[in-house]
Structure 1
Amino acid sequence: MWRTVAMMMVGMLPLFGGLKNLSLPQALNMLDRKNLEIKVSRFEETMKKYDEIAVEGKNWGSATITLQALRSNDAGNVFGFKLQSREATFGDFGAQEFMNNFGACQGGNMQACADMYTKPPQNLNYPAPRNHFLTKLTYQVPIYTGGKLSAYKEITHKLYEMSRLDTRKLRNEKIFQVKKAFYDIALVERYVYNLRKIRHNMVRLKQTILAMKKEGYTKKTDVLEVEARLAKVDSMLNQAKLNESLAYQFLSFLLDTEVDSIRNVDLHVRAPRVSKRDIERLSLDIQKAKMGLEVARNAIQTEKANFLPTVGAFAEYGSADNTLWNDFAQKDFYTVGMQVQLNIFNGGSDKAKLEKARVRHMKVASQLELAKKGIALQVRKLQTAIKSMEFDERSARKQLRLAREVYRTYEAKYKEGLASITDLLIKQSMELEVLLKYLKIANERDTKIFQLEKILDRGGRP
């Protein structure tokens, strides 16, 4: 029994662990499926698409079915109910009362003669309560709106396309963050690897000092200095591991999945070549600004439509009776018609709105030109920074090789008694300083390249 339980627990362990040896392409693939911010943005896209469908549906008009159930003893209502139900008779106008008075008048009843023309009909003015059930189908459709509906459709379509660009821009931002997290982790791991090598050398140096101390060739302070330096390296190692843990936590947040380890990446990223045409063709901000210009142009059309007539048509079919759906076909009715409406004066409000739309169009056109020039400048600055950092990186790499060689030389001199422990530790500090400088430059250069890829909407492509 205990063996079965143990096997089940071992089988469940991977369920509680994170992803191991995750590659960058795998992470980018997961990003599209798992990142919560991208999911939210795609929901926004879908809502914009439904806005477009809703506006397009206006062209097809609307059909409504109405069912009314009424009861009234109001004279006008009751007579109207009967008339709509095609049940009105001359008796409803008091014809029977009129004929009764007419007969009595012929018999010499003078009061009846007077009542024929002066006494209101009792059945018409004081009817009994009546039920009324009205079922009606109404269809209304716009025929001409001055181009307003087509302009609104174009606007909502462009807003939907702009929301898709927003999603792509957000996705590029998340790709940038995933790549940066990968390269940050790789750089920290490389830094840790070098720190451990330095620590190993220091431990070996300490052992050498202790051996030399027994022979009387070194002082006690030499041991203390090395131990102090070891403690500092241990502190740097601990800080580096904490930074690595934070980078893994951020990567796990981006992928909405726990990540324990990643596959090594090439720390030297190739910078993409970019032309002016590429900037205008690939930049999402410029594409969005162009769509914004088209939206502003369509907004002018919607304001112009206020100066044009609107034409609409409608058709109505129904039936009414004092009993629900009784003799529907025998008591049915229809109405068809159309309406033309033209606004001839509203105090200049439409004119002001039209001029505002034109000014907005000019503003958006200027913003488009500004976006083109601003993004081109941003790309040139990034390219300049990348080239500068490439020179700095090559220089730092050479300095690092020199610093390591100098440290090995001083280590040999110390063992021969030609250099002090202080000189040796100074050279080691220089090696650490140059290492940090080199890794920092490499990290900054990679970050600039990822920023350039983000601007150019490379979509995760290398």
Structure 2
Amino acid sequence: MIKYFLLIIFSTSVFAQIVDFNDVLNLTLQNDKNLQKQKLNTKISKLDIENINAISYGKINLSEEISRTNHSGYVFNSKLSSREASFNDFGFSENNGDFNKEPKNLNYPDSRNNFTTKLTYDLPLFTGFKLSKQKEILKLKQKAEILKLTLNKKYLSYEVLKAYNQAVIAKEFINASKKAQDSINFVLKSAIAFHKEGLVTKIDVNQARLHKLNINAQVIEATNNYELALEYLRFLSSNDKISNVKELKTIHYDITNFTTLLHEALKNRDELKLQKINKSAMKKNIDIAKSSYFPSVYSHLEYGFNDDKLTFEDDKDYYTAMIGINYSLFDNTKSIKKQQTKITYKQSILDYEKTKDFIKLELQKDLLNVKTKEAILKEKVQAKILAKEIVEQSKLMYKNRLISMSELLKQEANFQNSKAQVLMAKYENTLALAKITLDLGLNLKGKND
């Protein structure tokens, strides 16, 4: 039995993992399904560029067409194509000098097989710069997909920070609740001892017991919250072995110079870079619309064989070489499309400027939020210190029968509430500071990638 118990302890210690923030973050960035999907989008955008290159290289097709017909036109054409047509096919052997006579050989031919084997090459020679502009747009799209991936990593990192620090705070709250248990146990023992001596009534003892039950409920709730926080970390990181967390993750950043911070934000923010890419793409769409005003030039090369059976004989082959030019003399939709692309480009400029304004506003709000959270944390810490002094004094006063049990428990509850508020203030302060790094376009490691 002892061996079995030791085996359980050993197995638990092997599979359990105590992690810090960087552990969870690295695992999450590695295993997140949305990031993996985004990486695939970057590969798709790369293939889109290769597709444009493939179009510019043209297309080679090999085809084999097999037919059987007694259609007079098709039969005669197949004979011509295979170089087998004779004067007899025109009915010269039947007319006997009568040129108005309808030749039977020509109009009612026997059914004939026809095998057409051909190799074709179609190549766009000039598209009015349309292909080259589309390629440039697709390159911009590829850059945008990479930026989106970077941006998603940053916001996912922030989500990991929230979850990790929430788990740490939940863990600290369990410890605080257990200390509260120790404190109320001391008060309960004192009340029981005083009651035996007849110094206090049974009500004092029951009040202490009631407060103990409430503290026990807080410990159970805090433990549940901690387990829920750990479960979310396991979900984010795809690691079911996480069983504990280390210290709170805090981020420090100099926030004294708003002008410097705003300059860095406008330089680094991926949202602004995306709007800039969109603006460039919309401008190139104007060039694509202009391409319809140019003629399109294309070529078609064909080499093949025609016969009543599959063959590759030299006297049955043929070739075709063709260059075509297509130009639309009148199409009023071209002007409309051009105007639409110009309007869309102006909209992208407005979106770019609006994003800059939003970044400035967001930074201002979050800087104010950081200052507020830091000030609140300082006040909560002072309140906790004062509440501790009050509860210690209250214990002495109760011991000397200067205050009632209800007043002592009230001060004890105030102290526990102060500790909880300090923990929440610490948590909110770490999030506020982390949000500044996102405002500056940086990840939580202080880098722009």
- The answer, yes or no, to whether TM exceeds 0.5 is yes
1:319 to 284, 287, 305: 305
Do residues 432 (structure 1) and 416 (structure 2) align?
yes
Q: Distance in 2 between matches of 1:145 and 1:180?
A: 53
Cα displacement (A) at 1:303: 0.7
2:220 to 231, 238, 244: 238
Which of 61, 81, 89 is matched with 1:84 structurally?
Answer: 81
Structure 1 counterpart of 2:305, which letter?
A: S
Shift of 1:459: 3.5
- Which position in structure 1 is the counterpart of 2:194? 212
Cα gap change, 1:457/1:253 in structure 2, threshold over 3 Å: closer, same or farther? farther
Q: Which residue of 2 is the match for residue 330 of structure 1? A: 315
Q: What is the one-letter code of the residue matched to 1:413?
A: M
State whether structure 2 residue 65 is matched by structure 1 residue 68: yes
Q: Distance in 1 between matches of 2:422 and 2:59?
A: 69
Report deviation, 1:460: 4.1
Q: Could you report, residue by residue, the CA deviation over 1:86-109 in whole angstroms, capped at 9, with x for unpaired residues? A: 2222222233345xx3xxxxxxxx
Following TM superposition, the consecutive aligned residue runs of length 4 or more in structure 1 with deviations greater than 4 angstroms are 9-15
Q: Distance in 2 between matches of 1:14 and 1:38?
A: 31
Change (3 A) 1:19 1:95: farther
Query: Are the counterparts in 1 of residues 113 and 308 from structure 2 also a CA contact under 8 Å?
Result: yes
Corresponding residue of 1:288: 274
Q: Which position in structure 2 is the counterpart of 1:423?
A: 407
Look up the equivalent residue of 1:80 and give its one-letter code.
Answer: N
Alpha-carbon shift at residue 11 of structure 1 (Å): 11
Q: The residue matched to 1:396 in structure 2 has which SS?
A: helix
CA contact (8 A) 2:265 2:441 kept: no
Question: Unaligned 5+ residue runs, structure 2?
Answer: none
Match of 2:50 in 1: 53
**1:413 equivalent in structure 2:** 397
Gaps of 5+ in 1: 102-112
Deviation at residue 259 of structure 1 after TM alignment: 4.3
Superposed counterparts of 1:2-401, under 5 Å = 19-97=16-94, 101=96, 113=97, 115=98, 117-271=99-253, 273=255, 275-324=261-310, 326-346=311-331, 348-401=332-385
How far apart, in 2, do the equivalents of 1:301 and 1:12 lie? 69
Aligned residues: 441
Give, in angstroms, the shift of residue 389 of structure 1.
Answer: 1.1
The answer to whether the 8 Å contact 1:309/1:341 transfers is: yes
Shift of 1:12: 11
Aligned mates of 1:287, 1:73 — CA distance in 2: 67
Q: CA RMSD in A?
A: 2.5
> Percent identity, aligned pairs only?
23
Q: Which has the larger radius of gyration?
A: 1
Q: Is the 8 A contact 2:261 2:440 kept in 1?
A: no
Q: Could you tell me how far apart the structure 1 residues matched to 2:421 and 2:12 are? A: 39
When normalised by structure 2's length, the TM-score is: 0.92
Structure 1 residues 186 and 66: CA distance shift in structure 2, 3 A: same
Give the Å deviation of 1:202: 0.7
Q: Deviations over 1:407-430 (max 9, x none)?
A: 112212222323322222121122
What SS does the corresponding residue of 1:413 show, helix, strand or coil? helix
AA aligned opposite 1:323: K
Q: TM-score, normalised by structure 1?
A: 0.89
Judging changes above 3 Å, is the alpha-carbon distance between structure 1 residues 12 and 322 closer, same or farther for their aligned structure 2 residues? farther
Counterparts of 1:320 and 1:84 in 2: how far apart (Å)? 6
Q: Distance in 2 between matches of 1:449 and 1:315?
A: 66
Compared CA separation, residues 219 and 3, structure 1 to 2 (3 A): closer
Cα deviation for residue 267 of structure 1 reads 4.9
- Aligned-residue offset at 1:21: 0.4
